[in-house]
Structure 1
Amino acid sequence: MKRLAIFDFDGTLFDSICDVVKCYNKTLELYGFPTLTRREYIPCLGGNIDEITSLVLGENSSAENVEKVKKTYLDFYNSSPKDLTVPFPNALEVLRELRDKNVLLAINSNRLTYSLNEFVERFFPDIDFVAVEGHNPPHPSKPHPCGVNNIVEKAGVSLDEAVYIGDSITDIRTAENAGVDCVLVSWGYGNENDLKNDYPTEVISDMFELVGMFD
C-alpha cells in the first residue's frame, strides 16, 4: 500500500514556465544573447539551474556566461512578483483529499528550496508537507535520488510505500534511480517520448486520478 506521494513541482503541481521565460529573456536581452520562445524553453527544463542556463544559452554556453546569466536571472526572478506562476487546476483539492486519507505528502524539485517554500506558503498554507526538498548545492540534483532518499527517511516509510509523481524524463529517471514507483502526468512539460516510457506504472491526464491510487 502506498503511504507517501512525492510530487515534482514545475509542470506537475505548478504551471510556472511563463515567469521563467519572462525573466530569462529579460536576462538574455541584457547580455545581447538570442531570446527563446516558450516552446523553445520547454526542452531546456528539468535540470538544475546551471544545466537549464547552459541549455538556454545554447552555442553561447560557457562557464563564464552560465554564471553571469544564472546570477542575473535569479536576481530578476526573485525580485519579480511571479504572478504568472500558479497551481494547476485542482492541485490544492487533490492535496487536501490525499491529506484527509492520511497520505504523506512531499515535494522534490531541482528548483532551489527557498523558491519552493515561497510558493508552498503562498498557495498551500494548510498542507503539511513531510518534506519540501529542492536542489541544495553542493548536494546533487535530480535525477540523483538524494532528494527522494531524504524524503523517504523523513517520512519513515519504505521505498515500496512511496510513489513519485512527475511530468518529464528527469522525474522518471529520479524515481528509477531511487527505486520507487512513478506516475507520469500528461499536463506538464514532458513530451511524447516521456509519456511512452516503460518505467512509469501509470500515465494520468486528470489530477483527481491520483486520489484513487491511494485507496
Structure 2
Amino acid sequence: MTILPDLTGYCLAFDLDGTLVETAPDIIGTLNEILADYKVPKFAYSDARKLVGRGARSLIQRGFAAANVPLDAAAEDPMVARFLDIYRDRIDRESTAFERLEDTLDALTAAGATLTVCTNKPTDLSVLLLTKLGLIDRFGSVRGADSVPDKKPHPGHLQACVDDVGLTMAKTILIGDSETDYLTAQNAGVPCVLVSFGYCDTPMEEMSPAALIHHFDELPTAIAGLAK
C-alpha cells in the first residue's frame, strides 16, 4: 500500500451508499417487497442496480416506471414510509463493505486523517448500517440529509461534517460515487475522488474528478496525490 504523507488536519468525507458500502442488494430487496404488494413483477438485481442512488422515493418512482406500471401520486408517501420500515429491518442482510475498505480507512486514520460520512441517506439509517457493519467508530461525524438545512449537492452539507470535527474546508477531500458528490465538491471548492463501482447514472467521462479509482486499494495513492 502507498506510503501516505502526514494527513493530520485533513477531513476525508465519504458518501455512504455505493462508496463505502454495497447497499444495493438490500435496497433492491426492499423495493421488490413494495412492488409485490402492488402485484408488480420483481426486478432482478442486475436490472435494478442502476435504479439505486437517489433515495427511496426516486427508487419507487423509477421502479414503477421501469415496470411500465402507473404510480398513483397519492400512494407515494405511505409507500415511502413502508419502504423505510422494511429497509430498516433488513438493512444489513446482504449489504457489505466494499473490498479492502476497512484496511484502507485504517491506513488513512493512522496517517492522521479524520474521517466523516456525508450522505443523503437518513442519518438514523446511516448510523444503524455503519454500526451493524462495525464501521461506525471510524468516523468522527455522520451527517444524513435530514441533519442539515440543505442536502448535497449544497456545500453546507459537507461544511457541517467538517465543522463537526473541528477542521476546515481548505484540507477537505470528498470521496463519492455520483454526480451529486462531484457537484458537492465543486460547489464547496474541494477535490473530489470518485469511485467507479458505485451507483452513478452519469457517465464518469462527463465529469472531471481530481481522481477516479476502481478499487479501495487505489485510494491512498489518490489521497497522497491531493494532500498539500
Q: What is the TM-score with the length of structure 2 in the denominator?
A: 0.83
Classify 1:142/1:56 alpha carbon distance in 2 versus 1 (closer, same or farther; 3 Å): farther
| Correspondence for 2:215 | 206
List aligned pairs for 1:106-185, cutoff 5 A: 106-125=116-135, 127-136=137-146, 139-185=149-195
Classify 1:158/1:103 alpha carbon distance in 2 versus 1 (closer, same or farther; 3 Å): same
Which of 21, 30, 34 is the equivalent residue of 1:23? 30
- The answer to whether the Cα contact below 8 Å between 2:174 and 2:192 also exists between their aligned partners in 1 is yes
Classify 1:107/1:69 alpha carbon distance in 2 versus 1 (closer, same or farther; 3 Å): same
Instruction: In structure 2, give the amino acid aligned to 1:24.
Output: L
Bigger shift: residues 33-42 or 97-106: 33-42
Classify 1:140/1:54 alpha carbon distance in 2 versus 1 (closer, same or farther; 3 Å): farther
| Correspondence for 1:196 | 205
Question: Residue 167 of structure 2: SS of its match in structure 1?
Answer: coil
| Correspondence for 1:48 | 55
- List gaps (5 residues or longer) in structure 1: none
- % same residue: 25
How many residues matched?
214
Q: What is the TM-score with the length of structure 1 in the denominator?
A: 0.87
Cα drift, residue 19 of structure 1: 0.8
Bigger shift: residues 53-62 or 176-185: 53-62
Cα drift, residue 126 of structure 1: 7.1
Tell me the alpha carbon deviations over residues 49-105 of structure 1, each in whole angstroms, 9 at most, x when there is no partner: 333333223263443222122111112112226320110111111111111111010
CA distance in 2 between counterparts of 1:184 and 1:147 reads: 18
Instruction: In structure 2, give the amino acid aligned to 1:161.
Output: K
Question: Residue 136 of structure 1: SS of its match in structure 2?
Answer: helix
- The answer to whether the Cα contact below 8 Å between 1:164 and 1:175 also exists between their aligned partners in 2 is yes
| Correspondence for 2:40 | 33
Tell me the alpha carbon deviations over residues 115-162 of structure 1, each in whole angstroms, 9 at most, x when there is no partner: 111122222357341210112178333222332110122233332311
Q: C-alpha root-mean-square deviation of aligned residues, in Å?
A: 2.4
Question: Residue 127 of structure 1: SS of its match in structure 2?
Answer: helix
Cα drift, residue 13 of structure 1: 0.7
Cα drift, residue 108 of structure 1: 1.1
Cα drift, residue 190 of structure 1: 2.5
Classify 1:206/1:85 alpha carbon distance in 2 versus 1 (closer, same or farther; 3 Å): same
- List gaps (5 residues or longer) in structure 2: 1-6
Cα drift, residue 208 of structure 1: 2.1
